[in-house]
Structure 1
Amino acid sequence: MASEEELFANIDALLEEEPQLPPPAERARLREAAGITQARLAQALKSTTQTVKNYENGRSEPKSPRLEAYQRLLNGWAAKYPAHGAPAAPAPAGVPQSPVSETFTGTFTGPAAPEPRTRTETAAPVDAPSTPAAPAVPVARPATAARRPAVKKAAKPATDPRFPHGPLAVLDGDGSAFGVDGIVLYCPATTVPQLVEWTLKESGLGAGKLNRYGKDSDPLVVLTASAAVRLGLPERLEGHEQRRSLRLPEDHPVVKQVVKAKWQLTQRGFGPWARIYRKAQGRDRQCVQLAILSWDALDDRSWPGVTDMEPADIARILGTYATRVTTPRGSTAVSGLELMTALRPPTRAVQDPQTGNWVSGHNPGSLGTQPVDPAPPEATAEHPVVVNSGWSGGFLNEEAYQWVRSVDTLSDEECTLPFAVGLDLNTAFLAAAARLVVGLSAPDHFHHPTFNPKIPGSWLVDLSHIDLDPRLPSPFTPDGTPPTEPAWYQTHTVAYAQELGHNVAPLEAYLRRETGAYLDPWHDRLRTAYVDTLADLGVTKDLSDAEFLAAMEQHKQADPALAAVLSAIKATVKGGVGKLRERPQGKSYKQGETWPALARPTWRPDIRAAVISKARVNMHRKLNNMVKLTGLYPLAVLSDCVVYPSPGESPLDFLPYATSGKPQPGGFRLGPTPGLAKLEGVQSMLWAVDLMEKGLNPARHIKGGDAVLDEGE
């Protein structure tokens, strides 16, 4: 007979054993009976959807302390949802009593959770395609106001199981990390290194690559002012007005924490957009992007009003942009440039014919991994190529229009018209990038070449002999004045002179032998993002012109959050093109020195010139066709905005239509796609003439106020 000591030893051994969970199939049955998704359960367990799937198919088992939490949940469900034929029992205290749908009341759970706090949050409708994620865990924040549902929703892409919680999260001061689709994660980090570790190992944040040869997008964590303070960062920085040079000093405690934890910062340091990384281990990248709202990470010109919104709304806006465009990497200009590389990666895996091994090789159609020097006329005056060579032969001047018609050319009939109406071309630079063939290699120099409109490059041509109507801007100069001597032009400008019936005889040229439509995937992705976002705001392709004008009047009020996304998409286009010729910054710069942007393969002023040249030519072609179709001449042009005299307050009063009611091809047409036009503003004709007499541009102010419409860098 066993002794009491032996019996107690056996009992103690049983108590020390790990809790036994029901079989995997029963775990899945209980969860489904409770109406809880795998993603939601993963959120409650502070795990991932794939891990829960593994629990339910027997591939893996939870470890302590997640094991005890999971067993407690299953026991509660088993009591409430017994197997067929078994009696139900009261659910243990603390176990959720019913599934939730739109409105959820409960508490944080899991070993990493803070002190329990209960609250209600109403999930806002999501209008953007994004990865499905767990329902919101309740957080200490008032319910956000209900938003107007989208008119049209795009199909959601397949979920990447590696990143179940989407590309980014907005972290608040109480540890609530708001993600896409209304999910909320709990982040226990109180230091930046802890935040980086949590993001990479526990958050489930990130996004897959946009090209088979590209790289996954690093997760982005956006910090509110209170989150920044919680992590030991200043709410604002000294020298706040000098945003470009804004960064923490190297001796700041947070920078020291990062270095001590063996993380690194990029050369731009710890600023509004900080990248914290370690060298990749094999194929696994270890990099987290931080954006600090109170340090002006989101420029209000590109993201109007976003910084002042609630974290959940910011997450929705940035998540929509990340899904449709790219995970933000900095300003919209930086993101626009990075998107080019993400869609056209410089390298791909190729097989070495000698060894049979797979090695990194050039990806055809890309710009490669090494920067190339521009031709002297394509560079800027401070560029080393220009300074070191003593170049004095002039430069390309392919810029957007800034032209005002002389009041002396106005007819009496025009002056008696009551209104001046401004038309704005949707994302004109994006439309110009479509099917645009550009040079991919370094330039070669030619003397007296025969002009070929299919070869991208820069041509020295004399176009001063061409007679032009003074009521239209010259298509060859940004200010619209006719050229007076030989000058350098991009291929599209010279080709347009030939299209107008004039002889062109280049004196010199810098041409590129390797060419391709480098910007095509960039154009396609941004065009889709622009059109889909407008459609979500109620501006769809199937509207009549009158309906389109009415919808555009209201689209910003339909959903301010999506209107901010639309603004960011447009800024991405303009800024990305501008970044192709980024100039040196800082008072200490001296002519002839290199600057950081020159180290990029994407420092390509010739590609920028090609986009702008084609956009300006497209504008002039429409202006010319409008004369043929209607007899109307513009009053002024500013980049993609043109002002016409009109008998009425609507573009419908002067745009050309066939007797069938359809728009005449060749002129300006209304519509929501890139290259089509929308109403920019209406003023009186007297107002416009008054500005013209003062030498001011009515297109700059037609919208009202002091809005500037030029597509600068």
Structure 2
Amino acid sequence: MPADHGDEAELFARVDELLADLSAQRIPLPPPRERARRRKAAGLSTDQIADALGCPAEDIAAWETGAQEPLAARRAAYARLLQGLKTLQRPEHQDTPPHQEPTPTPPSRAGKKAEQPSLFPAITPVTSTPRSRTALSQTVKLTGPLAVIDHDDTLTAHFTNGSQLPLDAENLVSLLQWTLRSGLRGDKLSKQGLDRDCDPLIVLTPAASAALHLPVALDDRARLRLADSHPVIIQLRQAGFHLTRRGFGPWPSVFRPVTDNKRASVQLAVTAWGALSQDGWNLPLLPPTDLARLLGTYTDRLLTPRGSTAVCGEELMTALRPPTRPRRAPGGGGEPNPRGLHTVLEPAPPEAPDAHPLARGRLSEQAMQEEAWDWNRPPSRQETAQFPHVVGLDTNLAFAAASSGLSVGLNSPPRHALAPAFDEKVPGAWYCDLTHAVLDPRLPSPFTPTGQAPTGPAWYTTPTLAYAQELGMDVQPIEAYLRDETGPYLTPWYERIRNAYLATMADLGVHERIPQADYLAAMKTLATADPALLGLLAALKATAKGGLGKLREGPRGITAPYTRWPALNKPTWRPDIRAAVVSRARVTLHRKMRKMAEETGRYPLAVLADCALYPAHVPTALDVVPPGPDKQGVPGLLRLGVNPGLAKEEGTQSMSWYQQRYDQGTNPARYVKHPA
């Protein structure tokens, strides 16, 4: 049967299209890092390129890192664009000094921004010609805490100042040897400790990992580490390198034995295995130079990354309050630092988590329950009739802020006492009966995580009982476990996190001491800000949250009940400190809500941790918080502002939505930001 000529034409057209696609895929493109260099030299953003090519900006970033390649007609258009950008620039053989664009003008105090400041001002990378690579990689003495290693024909180090350096490294051993010679190292954060400067961080992109013969993914998903029999591990051992007990995973630490009192250690981050995309890290896909700059900013403001954000939070505590200090007596050496945590301590029995050996046989009412709130109540008829909306007010870095100036136990074990007199200056766990408290049911009880009134004696931390006294209650402990050696251990940790958070928010155009309305307007534009800055902000907040969580780190994986786990052997495993922080954050929020009720007559409908839902006439936080004489709120009440301890608008919904969620048995505060 003869073929239909119409069908034949259609088939030929499809074949021609396929051949065109194959032809386009063969169009040569410059190396990924050169693509990024040309774009930046022309002063173009990834958004501008994406708009011209009709694709997402994420695709441009992926093309510039080599994670993906453009296809078909878009590849041809991208090649044409890059060739055009090349002709607009100076010939590559001319010497061009590094150039940094002027710092963007800061936004107004109101947070308005015509152009969002970027973490990454354009910098022409400092590179070397192939003839000079060997000399450079062997003789250049670098400064800085880290380098991002990428690969395209050769390994290239990208530094925090925007410069680049090709390396003569063919395997991981030679890369580590170069790192130890390079001079890369971060400054230590405290002058008290004996530790040397921080180990350098080497971040491997997926392309670099492949070039160094590391697998694309880890086969051992249970332990998340490379097998000891892998050729790379064997090469490291043969070259005299050692690994810590956690092995070669996403964040391996590689070292040589200390010789002549000199430390030779390198921290690695393998991004192909999730080092910067999980465990608190959620950084956007960035070119290597931009990634180096972002991590450099995190390092400058907090510390050199060492693992998950929780690990970084814990390491920051130790770095600022080191366990040892130089010995003052003749002979030098080191001695325990009385302001740090240097001794592994067993918790008091009520402070122990349920999985702890000390919890075996313990009655539930004998366990301390100092946790964050999960409380809600039905709206009254008057509230339903008067307020058609609900507004969530979320406290900025509430638990980190609660740690500032908080006196906690240090290195002495808990001392048991019967019928002690309560002293708000002594950290400890107190067994006390607070059932006689007379509290307004429109507020959650400050003494329980459920917000319900206590039903019998219970264990409380010092901040909770101090607040009970503040409310005029008679506090008579039955027994207690007290800490005699005390100090504000977390204060420098909080201050560094606060400063990092405020500096990053200022980069995003949100500043301190501005009227509440201007702060609210600035926060509403945050979602459209520079993704890199938003990724940095999220990492800072996760570091604060995770660091406090590490104080009561639980067992990992499946373990038998009441069996010790590794975290218990660290001086920084201190559930009593975490409990005191949570307690202080909870009573601080209660105090503000109580004063809000006295000032405005308005009570919260629900509270989840640090987020309180209030009824509102109109869907804005400005309807809930008093303006104050300077439009910056009233001290002592909930008020809007960027500082830790102040609040932001978490979300708004209708009162009918709240009622529906309440009837379903869920806490509406959990969903006010994302109602779906």
Whether 1:376 and 2:349 are equivalent positions in the alignment is yes
How far does residue 282 in structure 1 lie from its aligned partner after superposition?
3.4
Q: Distance in 2 between matches of 1:349 and 1:321?
A: 28
Q: Distance in 2 between matches of 1:557 and 1:454?
A: 46
Q: Which of 383, 389, 401 is the matching residue for 1:419?
A: 389
Q: Which of 214, 217, 220 is the matching residue for 1:236?
A: 217
Q: Which of 353, 369, 377 is the matching residue for 1:397?
A: 369
Q: Which of 505, 510, 532 is the matching residue for 2:481?
A: 510
Aligned letter for 1:321? Answer: Y
Q: Distance in 1 between matches of 2:489 and 2:367?
A: 24
Contact 1:415 1:685 in 2 (8 A): no
How far does residue 103 in structure 1 lie from its aligned partner after superposition?
8.6
Contact 1:376 1:391 in 2 (8 A): no
Whether 1:585 and 2:556 are equivalent positions in the alignment is yes
How far does residue 688 in structure 1 lie from its aligned partner after superposition?
1.1
Aligned residue runs from structure 1 range 488-637, under 5 A = 488-587=459-558, 589-637=559-607
* Distance verdict in 2 for CA 1:392–1:701, change over 3 Å: closer
* Distance verdict in 2 for CA 1:503–1:399, change over 3 Å: same
Whether 1:196 and 2:176 are equivalent positions in the alignment is yes
Q: Distance in 2 between matches of 1:193 and 1:101?
A: 31
Name 1:321's counterpart in structure 2.
298
Stretch moving more, 376-385 or 645-654: 376-385
Q: Distance in 2 between matches of 1:620 and 1:547?
A: 26
Q: Which of 243, 247, 262 is the matching residue for 1:269?
A: 247
Name 1:459's counterpart in structure 2.
430
The SS at the match of 1:200 is helix
Q: TM-score normalized by structure 1?
A: 0.75
Name 2:87's counterpart in structure 1.
none
How far does residue 656 in structure 1 lie from its aligned partner after superposition?
1.6
How far does residue 646 in structure 1 lie from its aligned partner after superposition?
0.5
Name 1:208's counterpart in structure 2.
187
Contact 1:531 1:673 in 2 (8 A): yes
How far does residue 593 in structure 1 lie from its aligned partner after superposition?
2.3
* Distance verdict in 2 for CA 1:101–1:276, change over 3 Å: closer
Q: Distance in 1 between matches of 2:277 and 2:553?
A: 18
Name 1:179's counterpart in structure 2.
159
Name 1:337's counterpart in structure 2.
314
Q: Distance in 2 between matches of 1:519 and 1:509?
A: 23
Name 2:27's counterpart in structure 1.
none
Q: Distance in 2 between matches of 1:695 and 1:346?
A: 47
Identity %: 49
Q: Distance in 1 between matches of 2:408 and 2:464?
A: 14
Aligned letter for 1:648? Answer: V
* Distance verdict in 2 for CA 1:392–1:127, change over 3 Å: closer
* Distance verdict in 2 for CA 1:314–1:556, change over 3 Å: farther
Contact 1:163 1:206 in 2 (8 A): no
The SS at the match of 2:151 is coil
Stretch moving more, 227-236 or 649-658: 649-658
Name 2:419's counterpart in structure 1.
448
Contact 2:424 2:466 in 1 (8 A): yes
Q: Distance in 2 between matches of 1:579 and 1:451?
A: 29
Whether 1:165 and 2:143 are equivalent positions in the alignment is yes
Deviations 1:412-435 (A, max 9, x none): 333442211111110001110110
Contact 2:516 2:627 in 1 (8 A): no
Name 2:624's counterpart in structure 1.
654
Q: Distance in 1 between matches of 2:321 and 2:260?
A: 22
How far does residue 442 in structure 1 lie from its aligned partner after superposition?
1.2
Stretch moving more, 266-275 or 648-657: 648-657
Q: CA RMSD of the aligned region, Å?
A: 2.5
Aligned letter for 2:171? Answer: T
The SS at the match of 2:401 is helix
Name 1:100's counterpart in structure 2.
97
Contact 2:389 2:619 in 1 (8 A): yes
Whether 1:285 and 2:263 are equivalent positions in the alignment is yes
The SS at the match of 1:582 is coil
The SS at the match of 2:176 is helix
Q: Which of 629, 651, 655 is the matching residue for 1:681?
A: 651
How far does residue 520 in structure 1 lie from its aligned partner after superposition?
0.9
Structure 1's unaligned 5+ residue stretches are 1-93, 105-123, 141-161, 707-713
The SS at the match of 1:473 is coil
Aligned letter for 1:372? Answer: L
Q: Which of 640, 661, 665 is the matching residue for 2:635?
A: 665
Name 1:435's counterpart in structure 2.
405
How far does residue 363 in structure 1 lie from its aligned partner after superposition?
1.3
Q: TM-score normalized by structure 2?
A: 0.78
User: Whose Rg is larger?
Assistant: 1
* Distance verdict in 2 for CA 1:680–1:414, change over 3 Å: same
* Distance verdict in 2 for CA 1:415–1:477, change over 3 Å: farther
* Distance verdict in 2 for CA 1:660–1:259, change over 3 Å: closer
How far does residue 664 in structure 1 lie from its aligned partner after superposition?
2.0
The SS at the match of 1:689 is helix
Q: Distance in 2 between matches of 1:186 and 1:134?
A: 15
Q: Distance in 2 between matches of 1:293 and 1:475?
A: 43
Deviations 1:17-38 (A, max 9, x none): xxxxxxxxxxxxxxxxxxxxxx
Q: Distance in 2 between matches of 1:328 and 1:103?
A: 26
Q: Distance in 1 between matches of 2:188 and 2:124?
A: 22
How far does residue 102 in structure 1 lie from its aligned partner after superposition?
3.0
Q: Distance in 2 between matches of 1:95 and 1:578?
A: 51
Contact 1:139 1:176 in 2 (8 A): no
* Distance verdict in 2 for CA 1:125–1:167, change over 3 Å: farther
How many residues matched? 557
Deviations 1:155-174 (A, max 9, x none): xxxxxxx9843211111123
Contact 1:475 1:617 in 2 (8 A): yes
Q: Distance in 2 between matches of 1:300 and 1:392?
A: 35
**RCO higher in 1 or 2 (8 Å CA, sep ≥ 6)?**
2
Deviations 1:612-643 (A, max 9, x none): 00001111111111110111111111111111
Contact 2:409 2:577 in 1 (8 A): yes
Contact 1:404 1:695 in 2 (8 A): no
Q: Distance in 1 between matches of 2:664 and 2:403?
A: 35
How far does residue 238 in structure 1 lie from its aligned partner after superposition?
2.2
Q: Which of 276, 282, 288 is the matching residue for 1:298?
A: 276
Q: Distance in 1 between matches of 2:192 and 2:424?
A: 32
How far does residue 301 in structure 1 lie from its aligned partner after superposition?
6.9
Name 2:334's counterpart in structure 1.
360
Whether 1:221 and 2:202 are equivalent positions in the alignment is yes
* Distance verdict in 2 for CA 1:660–1:381, change over 3 Å: closer
